[in-house]
């Protein structure tokens, strides 16, 4: 589609084309280098990608990418190491859909973070690893409350009221449905099916065996116990029936889901690294807003010399080529780009330091590619089109906080906002709220007298309910595939190559063009996305 055409070849039917000048098709739009050659920082909203030619179906677009030098993913999506975004539930869901989650480090102890990594590594589809339990001395009223809140129909009874406690019985709807409200003060132990009469399975049982048992016994729930009789998980027949295939899941060499974990640049991180490596963490993210520091470089070199093979290390954050060079020289396997672009970030306002995210991703990716190191574009992803734009600028993956914070799998409970909207809390890791959460994060900030004055770099916010990752991430993936189809590229490798050789074109958009590109001129509208 390149080359020259005569103006008159356009179907204007007027016959006035005689002698018309040849027009250079390649002159239309800007190459990426032209887009960024002005000395002004651009971000995703400042440009469009121009359409190409479609000769393939949307589902055939392949989003396989590199997270780090050695780790490949089928979807270029990473969840942020933030305490309102990624713990095990989020990481499991992200990995099942081909991305990866990075467990945050704002726990009371390193062991708490290690436990979250282990939950991902031990995850097996169909097994509910944190079933809601009840104590024998609780009442029917307590059970009704659980039922109303979570909708469960079968609840295991353990001595502690938690998973891990000794299994004493199971109480189902059938056991309590016909008990009148007057008797709701009765104790669970008097209505439950006691352990002697319960069908259970031993740890290590396979899903297919569990399914056969449930079918044969006509039961809905199968508690899984260890040798000591402690409840380790629960299998629900309804879950097994709807057990899905996740053809793109991110698995490690031994078939466990992949997961990452964040660490700070403090001395104590060496202990964390040892513990995380011991439970098989795939990737460690050194978490800092300004990655070009002596602390980070020394830590990075230490990890690389101590653990030659695994794990992979993502260093950052950076926004300039000089910063990226220091971290790549020190051994980084991936580079995280973004300073102040996040939805909850106030770094550019407070520190006066940072960079427009589009320019940062373009500049750092151009350099990192020459060193064979993938870039993760972190922060400022407001919607699915922003992901496609970040990838077009050279990123191999995007990292998202806010976009995922309102989902079911994000830590924290939903609550109702003043206008009747269902919300979840979302906060910056540099917000006072997050800094004050644990002593470990406190000492990061207030380790000596000179650090006693707090300077917040983030805010505390709320996010609208976005439903489950199991619906949202497939929507994101399909949205990116549609973007690629419009651009006319079938995979990420081709996108990067065609952007660099100038066949994928861009265009800077004026403030008015930005308004035009959004929803406008309507009395009211309803924005349903999927």
Ligand X SMILES: O=c1[nH]c(=O)c2[nH+]cn([C@@H]3O[C@H](COP(=O)(O)O)[C@@H](O)[C@H]3O)c2[nH]1
Ligand Y SMILES: NC(=O)C1=CN([C@@H]2O[C@H](COP(=O)(O)OP(=O)(O)OC[C@H]3O[C@@H](n4cnc5c(N)ncnc54)[C@H](O)[C@@H]3O)[C@@H](O)[C@H]2O)C=CC1
What is the maximum span of the chain, computed from C-alpha positions, in angstroms? 97
399 sits near ligand X (criterion: CB under 6 A): yes
Nearest-angstrom CA–CA distance, 444 and 264:
8
344 sits near ligand X (criterion: CB under 6 A): yes
Nearest-angstrom CA–CA distance, 208 and 213:
9
Do 300 and 142 contact (CB within 8 A), yes or no?
no
- Tell me which of 406, 428, 479, 488 binds ligand X, using CB under 6 A: 428
DSSP codes joined into one string, 326-354: HHHHTT-SEEEE-SS-STTB-HHHHT---
**Binding site annotation covers 144?**
no
- Tell me which of 79, 233, 347, 392 binds ligand Y, using CB under 6 A: 347
Do 226 and 232 contact (CB within 8 A), yes or no?
yes
Nearest-angstrom CA–CA distance, 335 and 341:
16
Q: Is 467 in a helix, a strand, or coil?
A: strand
The piece of 86-94, 193-201, 337-345, 361-369 that touches ligand X (CB under 6 A) is 337-345
Instruction: Tokens for 177, please give them.
Output: 């449905």
429 sits near ligand Y (criterion: CB under 6 A): yes
Q: In Å, what is the CA distance from 343 to each residue of 240, 429, 452, 498?
A: 38, 12, 27, 30
Considering the complex, state which of residue 290 and residue 494 has its C-beta at the smaller distance from ligand X: 290
The piece of 61-69, 217-225, 275-283, 373-381 that touches ligand X (CB under 6 A) is 373-381
Considering the complex, state which of residue 99 and residue 379 has its C-beta at the smaller distance from ligand X: 379
**Binding site annotation covers 250?**
no
Cβ neighbour number for residue 481 with a 10 Å cutoff: 19
Instruction: Tokens for 470, please give them.
Output: 């199991």
**Alpha helices, H only, 4-139:** 32-35, 88-96, 110-121
**Alpha helices, H only, 78-154:** 88-96, 110-121, 140-150
**Binding site annotation covers 339?**
yes
Instruction: Tokens for 57, please give them.
Output: 């179906």
**Binding site annotation covers 38?**
no
The piece of 150-158, 167-175, 277-285, 342-350 that touches ligand X (CB under 6 A) is 342-350
Considering the complex, state which of residue 76 and residue 81 has its C-beta at the smaller distance from ligand Y: 81
Asked if 444 is an active-site residue, the reply is: yes
Nearest to 50 by CA among 29, 78, 77: 29
345 sits near K ion (criterion: CB under 5 A): yes
Q: How far is the CB of 356 from K ion (least distance, A)?
A: 11
- Tell me which of 313, 400, 423, 487 binds ligand X, using CB under 6 A: 400
343 sits near ligand Y (criterion: CB under 6 A): no
Angle at 190 between CA 189 and CA 193, to 5 degrees: 70
Binding mask 33-72 for ligand Y (x = CB under 6 A): ----------------------------------------
Catalytic residue among 345, 355, 397, 466: 345
- Tell me which of 29, 156, 340, 380 binds ligand Y, using CB under 6 A: 340
Asked if 345 is an active-site residue, the reply is: yes
Binding site for ligand Y (CB under 6 A): 264-267, 287-290, 293, 295, 317, 338-340, 342, 345, 347, 378-379, 429-430, 444, 457-458
Binding site for K ion (CB under 5 A): 345
Question: Which residues are designated catalytic?
Answer: 345, 444
Which residues define the annotated binding site for IMP?
343, 378-380, 401-402, 426-430, 457
């Amino acid at each position: 589609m390149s080359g020259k055409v005569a103006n008159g070849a356009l179907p204007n039917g007027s016959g006035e084309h005689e002698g018309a000048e040849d027009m250079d098709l390649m002159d239309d739009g800007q190459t990426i280098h032209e887009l960024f050659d002005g000395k002004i920082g651009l971000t995703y909203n400042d440009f469009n990608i121009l359409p190409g030619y479609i000769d393939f179906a949307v589902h055939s677009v392949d989003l396989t990418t590199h997270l780090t030098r050695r780790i490949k993913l089928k979807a270029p999506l990473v969840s942020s190491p933030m305490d309102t975004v990624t713990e095990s539930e989020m990481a499991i869901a992200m990995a099942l859909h081909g991305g990866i989650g990075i467990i945050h480090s704002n726990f009371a102890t390193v062991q708490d973070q290690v436990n979250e990594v282990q939950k991902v590594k031990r995850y097996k589809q169909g097994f509910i690893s944190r079933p809601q339990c009840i104590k024998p001395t609780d009442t029917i009223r307590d059970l009704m409350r659980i039922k109303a809140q979570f909708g469960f129909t079968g609840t295991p009874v353990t001595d502690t009221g938690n998973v891990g406690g000794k299994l004493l019985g199971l109480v189902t709807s059938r056991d309590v449905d016909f008990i009148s409200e007057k008797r709701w003060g009765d104790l669970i132990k008097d209505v439950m099916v006691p352990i002697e009469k319960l069908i259970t399975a031993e740890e290590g049982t396979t899903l297919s065996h569990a399914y056969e048992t449930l079918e044969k016994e006509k039961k809905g729930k199968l508690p899984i116990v260890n040798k000591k009789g402690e409840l380790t998980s629960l299998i629900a027949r309804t879950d097994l029936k709807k057990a899905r295939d996740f053809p793109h899941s991110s698995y490690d060499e031994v078939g466990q889901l992949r997961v990452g974990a964040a660490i700070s640049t403090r001395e104590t991180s060496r202990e964390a690294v040892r513990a995380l490596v011991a439970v098989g963490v795939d990737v460690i993210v050194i978490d800092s807003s300004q990655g070009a520091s002596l602390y980070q470089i020394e830590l990075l070199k230490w990890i690389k010399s101590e653990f030659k093979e695994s794990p992979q290390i993502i260093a950052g954050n950076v926004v300039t080529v000089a910063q990226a060079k220091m971290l790549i020289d020190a051994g980084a396997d991936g580079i995280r780009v973004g300073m102040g672009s996040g939805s909850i970030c106030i770094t550019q306002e407070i520190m006066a330091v940072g960079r427009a995210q589009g320019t940062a991703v373009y500049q750092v990716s151009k350099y990192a590619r020459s060193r064979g190191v993938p870039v993760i574009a972190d922060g400022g992803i407001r919607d699915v089109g922003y992901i496609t734009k970040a990838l077009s600028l050279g990123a191999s993956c995007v990292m998202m906080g806010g976009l995922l914070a309102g989902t079911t799998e994000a830590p924290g409970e939903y609550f109702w906002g003043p206008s009747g909207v269902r919300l979840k809390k979302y906060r910056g890791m540099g917000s006072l709220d997050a800094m004050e959460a644990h002593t470990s994060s406190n000492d990061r900030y207030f380790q000596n007298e000179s650090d006693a004055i707090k300077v917040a770099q983030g805010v505390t916010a709320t996010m609208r309910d976005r439903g489950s990752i199991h619906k949202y991430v497939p929507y994101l993936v399909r949205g990116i595939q549609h973007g690629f189809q419009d651009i006319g590229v079938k995979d990420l490798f081709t996108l990067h190559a065609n952007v660099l050789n100038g066949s994928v074109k861009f265009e800077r958009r004026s403030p008015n063009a930005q308004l035009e590109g959004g929803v406008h001129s309507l009395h009211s509208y309803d924005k349903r996305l999927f």
